[in-house]
């Protein structure tokens, strides 16, 4: 079904925007042609939520497709609330589930959100951040060194995935041997429609701490419902093992504080009091999922963009000083987050549309970042693009707290891989595989090849013999 471009005064028709909602659309990449066509008709479109892939039909939502209006929505939490319905397109299944997700900082509005964000920002002390940054480059070097002698790897799974996991483990004070729990939890939440990610079980309990083993015992008790499906991972029941681990970690850190961000957070206090264990548990969810999955998708996506534009890759290889700008262009061109939702708290006009109180309003990062009103030749990948006012990290009170560390990790990973993997290219024998999701746009697998640097095989043999 097509929609008439009434807002623009045109008698032409626009394509059906329902594809923006269907997770299967994104298996072939973001539908930029569709978005551009819709945006040329109107900046805001009504998108139905049909029954599909086991989801019940929903009420529909307004899709915001321009840079200007996305900024307006994100910077006005009084009108466009994160709290009323949460920040995911699909409504929580029950009133109890909505009440639960509303406790998370991600799903709060000022002033409640302001208090938790202030406590968290204070916990990222200069010394804590400096300690994190000191290890990022060394870890990136080690991850690349582990594969550089092979001449081939799955960049998404074997090279880049572990860097955000290790960094998050440091931030959260999670023992390194438990880090694959973070991998499994984020997979289950972000990829619960994806057959591979929804059953992610990479962690071996025998290698973990007692906290991890207790969490795995809790997970073993999570059972399918009457419909044969596992509980929604956005619910407390669906991720009970993660919340059990977070509770144990908070208890331990209060008794045995370290120099990590979580220890500082748990000890922090202000006029409104410190963070409670329940608040920490929901914040742990934010760290474990948002702090991991976005960067884990951002790095393979950035490399894919470079490999699709060899002229830009050659330009970067010839001038490493272009890397910071290249990272910004990667973030603009292929943002890992497709969208975020708000809920209108009152009747309001938006982009020529009459939005009613209670309507869902969904801002599309992938659309705003290619708005021709802001970006010249928006579909062109240009590592020297300036200015580059992308909205990948959002705007307003919910602007991403981890933006600096995300950029730092991308810089470290690309510094190591691009200049140590000569003639880096996609593996023609193995196709990249994208995640089945309408929320996160990422590569589960990105097979690449490169020419083995001289001497690297011998060095790898010596290292293996030494071990």
The tens digit of pLDDT for each residue in 252-284 reads 999 999 888 888 889 887 666 788 888 888 888
177-191, 218-232, 238-252, 331-345: segment of lowest average pLDDT: 218-232
Domain-embedded: residue 359: yes
Going from the C-alpha of 465 to that of each of 76, 138, 187, 457, 458, the distances in angstroms are 60, 22, 35, 12, 11
CA 162 to chain centroid: 15
The tens digit of pLDDT for each residue in 19-56 reads 999 999 999 999 999 999 999 999 999 999 999 988 89
pTM for this structure? 0.91
Domain-embedded: residue 9: no
The predicted structure's pLDDT at residue 466: 46
| Measured distance CA(102)–CA(88) in Å, rounded | 12
The predicted structure's pLDDT at residue 12: 55
> For the chain, how many structural domains are there in total?
1
How confident is residue 129, by pLDDT bands cut at 50, 70 and 90?
confident
The predicted structure's pLDDT at residue 228: 66
Residue with tokens 């390194």: 176
Domain ranges, residue 156: 17-466
Domain-embedded: residue 6: no
Percent of the chain with pLDDT over 70: 91
| DSSP label at residue 350 | E
Whether the CB-CB separation of 295 and 263 falls below 8 Å is answered with no
CATH number of the domain that residue 64 is part of: 1.10.630.10
The predicted structure's pLDDT at residue 1: 34
As a whole number, the mean pLDDT across the chain is 89
Domain-embedded: residue 7: no
- Other C-beta atoms closer than 10 Å to the C-beta of 370 total 25
Does position 15 have pLDDT exceeding 70, yes or no? yes
Whether the CB-CB separation of 405 and 131 falls below 8 Å is answered with no
Residue with tokens 């139905």: 48
Domain-embedded: residue 1: no
Domain-embedded: residue 264: yes
**Interval 404-419 mean pLDDT:** 95
The torsion defined by the Cα of 322, 31, 394 and 326, in degrees rounded to 10, comes to 0
How confident is residue 8, by pLDDT bands cut at 50, 70 and 90?
very low
Domain-embedded: residue 210: yes
Domain-embedded: residue 80: yes
**Interval 415-429 mean pLDDT:** 96
Whole-angstrom distance between the N-terminal and C-terminal Cα of the chain?
A: 63
Structure tokens at 317: 């290889």
| Measured distance CA(410)–CA(54) in Å, rounded | 36
Whether the CB-CB separation of 289 and 185 falls below 8 Å is answered with yes
């Amino acid at each position: 079904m097509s929609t008439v471009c009434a807002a623009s005064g045109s008698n032409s028709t626009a394509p059906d925007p329902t594809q923006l909602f269907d997770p299967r659309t994104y298996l072939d990449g973001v539908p930029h042609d569709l978005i551009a066509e819709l945006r040329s008709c109107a900046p805001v479109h009504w998108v139905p939520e049909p029954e599909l892939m086991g989801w019940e039909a929903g009420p529909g939502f307004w899709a915001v497709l321009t840079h200007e209006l996305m900024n307006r929505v994100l910077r006005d939490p009084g009108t466009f609330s994160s709290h009323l319905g949460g920040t995911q397109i699909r409504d929580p299944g029950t009133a109890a589930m909505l009440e639960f997700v509303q406790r998370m900082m991600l799903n709060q509005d000022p002033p409640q959100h302001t208090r938790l964000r202030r406590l968290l920002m204070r916990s990222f002390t200069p010394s804590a951040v400096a300690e994190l940054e000191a290890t990022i480059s060394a870890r990136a070097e080690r991850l690349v060194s582990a594969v550089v002698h092979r001449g081939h790897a799955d960049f998404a799974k074997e090279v880049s995935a572990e860097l955000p996991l290790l960094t998050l483990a440091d931030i959260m004070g999670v023992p390194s041997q438990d880090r694959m729990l973070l991998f499994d939890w984020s997979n289950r939440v972000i990829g619960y429609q994806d057959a591979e990610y929804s059953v992610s079980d990479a962690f071996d309990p025998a290698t973990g701490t007692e906290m991890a083993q207790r969490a795995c015992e809790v997970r073993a008790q999570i059972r399918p419902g009457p419909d044969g499906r596992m509980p929604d991972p956005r619910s407390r029941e669906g991720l009970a093992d993660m919340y059990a681990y977070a509770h144990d970690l908070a208890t331990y850190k209060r008794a045995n504080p370290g120099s990590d961000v979580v220890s500082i957070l748990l000890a922090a206090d202000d006029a409104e009091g410190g963070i409670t264990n329940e608040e920490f548990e929901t914040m742990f969810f934010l760290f474990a999922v948002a702090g991991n999955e976005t960067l884990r998708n951002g790095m393979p996506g950035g490399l894919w963009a470079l490999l699709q534009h060899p002229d830009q890759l050659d330009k970067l290889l010839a001038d490493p000083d272009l890397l910071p700008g290249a990272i910004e262009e990667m973030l603009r061109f292929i943002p890992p987050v497709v969208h975020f939702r708000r809920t209108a708290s009152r009747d309001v006009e938006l982009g020529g549309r009459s939005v009613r109180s209670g309507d869902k309003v969904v801002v599309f990062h992938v659309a705003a970042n290619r708005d021709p009103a802001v970006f010249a030749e928006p579909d062109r990948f240009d590592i020297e693009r300036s200015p580059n006012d992308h909205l990948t990290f959002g705007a307003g009170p919910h602007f991403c707290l981890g933006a600096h560390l995300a950029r730092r990790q991308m810089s470290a990973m690309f510094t190591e891989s691009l200049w140590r993997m000569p003639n880096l290219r996609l593996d023609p024998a193995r196709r990249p595989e994208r995640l089945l999701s309408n929320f996160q746009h990422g590569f589960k697998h990105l097979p690449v090849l490169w020419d083995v640097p001289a001497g690297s095989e011998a060095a790898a043999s010596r290292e293996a013999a030494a071990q």
